[in-house]
Every structure is written in structure tokens, then in C-alpha cells.
Amino acid sequence: MARRPGNLPVDLSSFVGRAEELAEGLQHLAGTRLLTLTGPAGVGKTRTALRLADTLRRGFTGGVWRVELSGAADPAAAVAETLEAGGALSPPEIASALGDRRLLVVLDTCEHLLGEVTGLVEALLGRASRIVVVATSRQPLGLPGERVLGLAPLPLPSAVRLFEDRAVAADPGFALTPAVSPVVAEICARLDGLPLAIELAATRMRSLSARDLLERLRHRLTLLTGVSRSVLPRHRDLRAAVQWSHRLCDDEQRRLWALLSALPGPFDLAAAERACGAGLGPDRVAPVLAGLVERSVVLRDAEGRHRMLEAYREVGLEPSGGRWRPAVQEPLRGAGRSLRTHQPGRVARAVTGTLSARELQVAELITEGLSNPMIAVRLDIAKRTVDAHVRNILAKGGLASRTQVAAWVAENDGQAPP
């Protein structure tokens, strides 16, 4: 049987996870002709969109086509060239040239050309009734009838599986042994479950052990640079991927980004207004924060809590010269734990004991999101010793959780309470 036309690239590596998202995407496309995949830098929008498009290939006699827009100045010209619709055509002319062809078009990386892309998509969908569009963007296109599929970071099992797969590709001798497995899980958690960050980190297995890699993740933007030869500059390292978003923000959004980067963990709108109102203006925090959520710079959960991924926090603090500290890590999706919004006054008053130097070290590492086994590795002490230190910290401070320990350390900058 002849192969249907199209230009989808051949996968050179395995596709890990996203079964639920693919099923949801297929469900959306049963009732719409425009689906936009959104999410933060490096979350896997392109790979998921292409896998979704490939799944639907049989239903499109005119082919499934990817149009890469990250380096384009004119999306209409890019579409016309890819689909061989003719020379320099306007969007309505492209739609007319395509006629009644049954096509699925993947418009990949739209966020920097939203105005031009929305005009193009409106023309294609309005004048060519058999065209379906799947777009990838860090924010929705905002068109009538659009369905949005938001991609979150990978849950822990999928993140670990992705790391293992890419690490074996980089170093065939790599094995996810019982000793290595918790280290890899900690690496994936520290990287927020971002596929791009995990893939770049796994490539370092050529020259580092898993423990060495974990030790160096405090400098993730430097560590995960220059390890990929992707043709797209923003996919070559983690900093480039996040800075792409930074450049697309306006001045107010970049200012709030920097201010929010100093917060130690998840926050609600009221906390953001208290912390950032003086620097931005109390009445500007809510609308500007909404813009950052729209652009996938800040993530918002169903309960109204916000959080910023660590790579975004680090980039947010770079221009201001502020001190970067890893935030209290929220568990990856599906990890089975929850993290509640910190109440500063309650925690500060609860800390009444005096911590030893070693206990302060342990408390600092709790703030970095390390588990007890990983703290033992970092300090080269037994896990049971770490367990005892954590119990002492909780007892001396009258604290109820590791989250409260981390919040206190962030507030007091690691100084022992009086």
C-alpha cells in the first residue's frame, strides 16, 4: 500500500509516557478542528503533538504535515512552502489552494508569532473545511473553538523511565540498580520532571556517575548546557529553552518573574501580592501573574496554588543578581504526596529550639528537596543518622512536617533560632 503524503520526522528515540494526554488529545480532536498543546519549556509539546499526529495519520488522505515555526518570520509562507501550495500567498489564498484536501497540519512553536498564526489558522479553518490544525505553543492561540491540552511535567515513574532510556543510549553500561534508582529518582524530582532537562542530564552519564550528577544539579543551567546538538538552539540546553520564554515576556512580566523567583515554594495569589506588591504595584500583581500563567512561566494547580519550576526561578533571578536557592520541591505528578501553602507567621513562631551545626546542614538539604537517603549521600553519613537529625529538628522546632522545616530555613536564611 502506498504511503500517505506527509513530512513527519522519524522518531530517533523512544517515546516515554503521555498515554493519558494522548488519549485526551484524541478525544478533543473528535470534536474540534483546532487543538493547541501548551506547557512550559522542555515539557515535550513537540514530541507529544507529533505522536498524536502520527496516530491519526490514516484518517488524512492529504497527509499529516509538520510546519516548524521557531525560525520563521512569516508562518503563512512556511505553510505554503511545506504544503507546496504555491508561492507568496496570503492565508486566504493558501486555504483556497488547498481546496478540499483532507489534511492535518502541525504548527510547531507558535508563541512568538501569535498574531500571525491566529490569522493564518482562522483562514485555514474558515475556508478549507477538511483541514485540522494541531498547534504547539507556550500559550493558547485564543481562537473560537480551540481546545487546549496542557502538558504538565512527567510523573515520577515516567521521568525515571525516560532518564534510564536516555542514559543507556549515552552509556550502554548504565543500569538502574537498587543503589542507583533512588539517586535517579532524586535527580528527576530536582529537574521538575521536565523531559528536556532529564534528557540533557542523562547525556551526562557518559562522564558522571548518578551521584556526581545529583551533587552538581544546584548549577543546573550551567551543567545542562552544550550537551545536545539539536538543530533548534532552544533545545540545545536548558537555559536557552527558558530564556526563549523570558524574551517573549513584556517588562512587567519579567519584573514579576524576578520577584516570584525569590519565593521559596508554592504560593497563592494573596502571598504573591504581599511579596511582590511593593515591587510591582498591588493592583498589578493579579493581572500580570495571570499573564505568566497563560505563558506557562508559572504553573497553577486545580486548588489555585502557583509554583515556578526551578529552571524558571534560576533564570528569573539571573538579571536581578539575587541569590538563588532551590525551592521546596513539590512532588511530581502521581508521587502520592501533597505540599501545602506555607503560613510564615505560624512556622516562625513554632521554631523555639536550637539546632546544632549538623542539624542546620540537614535542614538546608531538606529545603533543597532532598530525601533522607540523599541527604545521607550528600553528607556521607548513615541514613539512620539523618533520620535521627530530622526527628530532632521537628521536635526542637515544634514543627509538623518537612515542608515547615524548609519554610523556616528559607525565612531565616539558615540561621539558628534564638
Q: What pLDDT, on the 0 to 100 scale, is given for residue 412?
A: 57
Query: Residue 194 above 90 pLDDT?
Result: yes
In this prediction the pTM is: 0.75
Structure confidence at residue 236 as a pLDDT band (50, 70, 90): low
Please give the average per-residue pLDDT across 213-221, as a whole number.
Answer: 77
Domain boundary assignment for the chain: 19-150, 156-224, 249-317, 357-411
- In 84-130 the beta strands, taken as DSSP E runs, fall at 103-108
CATH class of 249-317: mainly alpha
Residue 359 CB burial class (10 angstroms; 0-12, 13-18, ≥19): buried
Instruction: Return the DSSP state at 6.
Output: B
Q: For residue 52, give the nearest of 88, 8, 89 by alpha carbon.
A: 8
pLDDT (average), residues 229-239: 62
253-to-6, 287, 319, 320, 340 alpha-carbon distances in Å: 39, 10, 13, 14, 26
Quick one: pLDDT band at residue 416, thresholds 50, 70, 90?
A: very low
User: What is the strand order of the sheet 34-38 is part of?
Assistant: 64-68, 103-108, 131-136, 34-38, 147-150
Mean pLDDT of 209-236: 69
> Over 90: is that where the pLDDT of 277 sits?
no
Query: What local confidence, expressed as pLDDT, does residue 251 receive?
Result: 92
CATH among 3.30.70.3270, 3.40.225.10, 3.40.50.300, 3.30.70.260 for 19-150: 3.40.50.300
**CA torsion, points 339, 345, 346, 350, in degrees to nearest 10?**
110
- What average pLDDT does this structure show over 195-214? 90
Indicate if 357-411 has the same CATH topology as 19-150: no
Above 50 in pLDDT, residue 350? Answer: no
Which is more confident, 288 or 363? 288
**361 pLDDT band (50/70/90 cuts)?**
confident
Spell out the residues 6+ positions from residue 175 whose beta carbon is closer than 8 angstroms to its own. none
Q: What is the pLDDT of residues 43-60, one digit of tens each?
A: 999 999 999 999 999 889
Q: Tell me the residue ranges of DSSP E strands in 293-374.
A: 299-300, 306-307
Distance CA 90, CA 86 (A): 10
- Residue 415 pLDDT > 80, yes or no? no
Average per-residue pLDDT for the chain:
82
pLDDT band at 206 (very low <50, low <70, confident <90, very high): confident
Instruction: With a cut of 50, say whether residue 338 has pLDDT above it.
Output: no
Q: CA-to-CA distance for 117 and 122, rounded, in angstroms? A: 8
Q: If you search the block for the grid coordinates 542530564, which residue do you land on?
A: 201
Res. 331: pLDDT tops 70? no
CA distance 28 to 30: 5
For 116-121, which contacts have Cβ atoms below 8 Å and span 24 or more sequence positions? 116/74, 116/75, 116/76, 117/69, 117/75, 117/141, 118/142, 118/143, 119/91, 120/75, 120/76, 120/79, 120/91, 120/94, 121/34
294 pLDDT tier (thresholds 50, 70, 90): very high
- Binned at pLDDT 50, 70 and 90, residue 235 comes out as low
Does the pLDDT value for residue 347 go beyond 70? no
Query: Average of pLDDT values for 319-347?
Result: 43
Arithmetic mean of pLDDT, 84-95: 83
Of the CATH numbers 1.10.10.10, 3.40.1350.10, 3.40.50.300, 1.20.1050.10, which one belongs to the domain with range 357-411? 1.10.10.10
The confidence score (pLDDT) of residue 301 equals 87
What is the predicted pLDDT for the residue at 226?
56
Q: pLDDT tier at 2 (50, 70, 90 boundaries)? A: low
